[in-house]
Amino acid sequence: MQKDGNQISPRIILGVTGGIAAYKSPDLVRRLIERGAQVQVVMTQSAKTFLSPSTFQAVSGRRVRDDLWDEAAEASMGHIELARWADLVLIAPATAHTIGSLAAGLAGDLLTTLALATDAPILLAPAMNQAMWSKKAVQENRTLLESRGIRFLGPAEGEQACGDQGPGRMLEPIDIVNAVFEAPVQLPSEVLKGLRVIITAGPTREPIDPVRYITNRSSGKMGFALAAAAQQAGADVILISGPVSIKTPAGVNRFEVETAKEMYESVHQRVDGSDLFIACAAVSDYRPEIESSEKLKRSAKNLNLELVRSPDTLASVAELQNGPFTVGFAAETQNVTENARMKLIKKNLDMIAANRVGPECGFDQETNSLRVFWKNGDIELENAPKSVLAKRLINLIAKRYVASQPKQSPSQVI
Ligand code: PMT
C-alpha cells in the first residue's frame, strides 16, 4: 500500500477469467484507478478469448500478466514478488473453473499460483450460468473457500447472457468497487509505516508455589498473528508475550513475561513514544496473595487460596496523558456486546474487539471471529483463520487511528 500524505493507494491484482462478464472488467479497472488503486491485471488464457490484453493495458497503464512462464515478465517482477506486492487479489469475473481450482489448491496458471502464494485477502466476484452456480459442487467450493477467509461478492440475480434467469450475474463494477473500498479486508502494506505498535499476547502465569500456577487457555496465536500483520503493515512492532510456544514473527521485537505484574511493568517500560497499544493478552485478573516458597503439601482436606487483583495494564495505558491509541480485547462467553461496550467506556479505550469464546473462536483455536466497537460504530469481522482476521483487524485499527488524528489537510482513507 502506498501512502501519499493521507491518501492511500492500495495495490490490487485484478484476475480476469474466461466468462462473458469479462466485458465489464475494463470498466472495473477504470473505477478502481479512479479511487486511487494501482491495478495489475492478470488474465487466464480463456479470458483472452473474450477480451484482448491490450484493452486492459490501455486502461490500467500496466502490461497485462497472463503467463507463469513469461521469462521477460518474470525477470521484471517474479510471480512470488507479484503475490507479495498485492494488498488485495480481486478476481472478477470468477468462473466455476477458477473457483474449483482455488478450492482444490491448484496452481495450474499464473492467477491460481498468485492466489496460493499471496498473503493478501482474496475477493471473488463469480459469474456463471444460474444452473452452474446452483450446483452442489460449486456451492461446496464456495463454502470451503469462505471457511478459509476468501470473500464472495455476489453474484447478482437477473437475466443472463444465455437467456436464463437467476443468480449468476457478476455484480456491476460500481458495486464491486464499493465493496472493495468499504470492507475491512485490505492489507495496507504501509498504512502503519513509521508507527510504533505495542501488542500483548498469550496468557500470564500467577505462581501459587514453586510448581503450581494459575493460568488460562490462551495460546498466543491471535496476538502473534496481530504482531505479524502490524509488522507487514509497516509498523515497528514490540510484542510482549506471556509463556507460549510460538515462533516470533519476522521483524518483530519480542519480550517475554510470566505474570500480570511483569506484563504491566514490561508495557510501561516501553509505552513512551508508542502510537498504538493492542492488548490481546489474556491477563490473569487475580493472583494468589502469597506465593509459597515451598511446595504446598497435600495435608489438609481443603486448601483456600486468597486471591488479590492484579494490575490492569490496559486501563493504565488508556489513562496515560498523550498515551497511544488504545485497543482492548474482551473475551466473553455471554452478553458479548454489552460487556464489550461496557469495557470500552469503563476503561476509556479507543476501540475494543469482543471475542466470543466458543466453537471455532477464542482461546487456542485456529480460527476466530470478532465484533469490534468504537465510540460511534461497530463492525463484525467474520470467522476466518487468525492470520486473516488479524490483517482485517489491523486494517480497521489503522483506519480508526488515522481518523482519530488531528487533520492537517483534507484526508481520505479507505
Ligand atoms: O491466544 P489465543 O489462544 O489465540 O486466544 C486469543 C484470545 C481469546 C486470548 C484473545 O483474542 C482475547 O480475547 N484476549 C483478551 C482476553 C481477556 O483476558 O479478556 P478480558 O475481558 O479478561 O480483558 C479485557 C482486556 O483487558 C484485554 O485486552 C486484556 O488484555 C486486558 N487486561 C485484563 C486484565 C488485566 N489485569 N490487565 C489487562 O491488561
Check residues 242 and 180 and name the one with the higher pLDDT.
Answer: 242
Give the mutation target among 224, 314, 326, 343 for probing the ligand 1 site: most ligand atoms within 8 A of CB: 314
What value does the mean pLDDT of the chain take?
A: 91
- What is the end-to-end Cα distance of the chain in Å, rounded? 11
> What three-state secondary structure class fits 207?
strand
CATH of the structural domain 2-189, one choice from 3.40.50.1950, 1.10.3210.10, 3.40.50.300, 1.10.240.10? 3.40.50.1950
From 26-35, 57-66, 160-169, the region with the lowest mean pLDDT = 160-169
Confidence of residue 183 (pLDDT cuts 50, 70, 90): low
Number of other residues whose CB lies within 10 A of the CB of residue 364: 12
Kindly report, residue by residue over 354-413, the tens digit of the pLDDT. 999 988 899 999 999 999 999 988 888 888 889 888 988 998 899 899 889 875 443 333
Residues with a catalytic annotation lie at: 162
315: which residues sit within 8 A by CB, 6+ positions away?
346, 347, 348
Confidence of residue 185 (pLDDT cuts 50, 70, 90): very low
Q: Report the pLDDT value the prediction gives residue 376, as an integer from 0 to 100.
A: 86
Amino acid at 31: R
Check residues 255 and 404 and name the one with the higher pLDDT.
Answer: 255
Mean pLDDT for 167-175 is: 95
The DSSP letter of residue 233 is T
Counting Cα atoms < 13 Å in the Cβ hemisphere of 160 gives 21
Q: Report the pLDDT value the prediction gives residue 385, as an integer from 0 to 100.
A: 83
Burial label for 71, CB within 10 Å (0-12, 13-18, 19+), is exposed
Output the ligand 1 site: residues, CB below 6 A: 200, 202, 218-223, 260, 279-283, 285, 310, 312-314, 328-331, 343, 355, 362-364
Task: Answer for the pair 168, 247: CB distance below 8 angstroms, yes or no.
Answer: no
Q: Judge whether residue 198 has pLDDT over 80.
A: yes
Counting Cα atoms < 13 Å in the Cβ hemisphere of 90 gives 32
Give the mutation target among 215, 263, 280 for probing the ligand 1 site: most ligand atoms within 8 A of CB: 280
Q: Report the pLDDT value the prediction gives residue 223, as an integer from 0 to 100.
A: 98
Whose cell is 493521507? That residue is: 6
Task: Answer for the pair 74, 81: CB distance below 8 angstroms, yes or no.
Answer: no
Q: Judge whether residue 55 has pLDDT over 60.
A: yes
Domains 2-189 and 191-404 share a fold: yes
Q: Report the pLDDT value the prediction gives residue 189, as an integer from 0 to 100.
A: 58
Whose cell is 458495486? That residue is: 175
Give the E-state strand segments of 67-126 in sequence order. 88-94, 122-126
Q: What is the CATH topology of the domain spanning 191-404? A: Rossmann fold (3.40.50)
Q: Where are the domains of the chain?
A: 2-189, 191-404
Q: Report the pLDDT value the prediction gives residue 411, as an integer from 0 to 100.
A: 37
From 108-122, 242-256, 338-352, the region with the lowest mean pLDDT = 108-122
Kindly report, residue by residue over 74-120, the tens digit of the pLDDT. 887 788 888 878 888 999 999 999 999 999 999 999 999 999 998 78
Torsion of Cα atoms, 148 then 150 then 153 then 156, to 10°: -50
Mean pLDDT for 43-69 is: 95
Q: Report phi then psi at 66, rounded to 5.
A: -145, 5
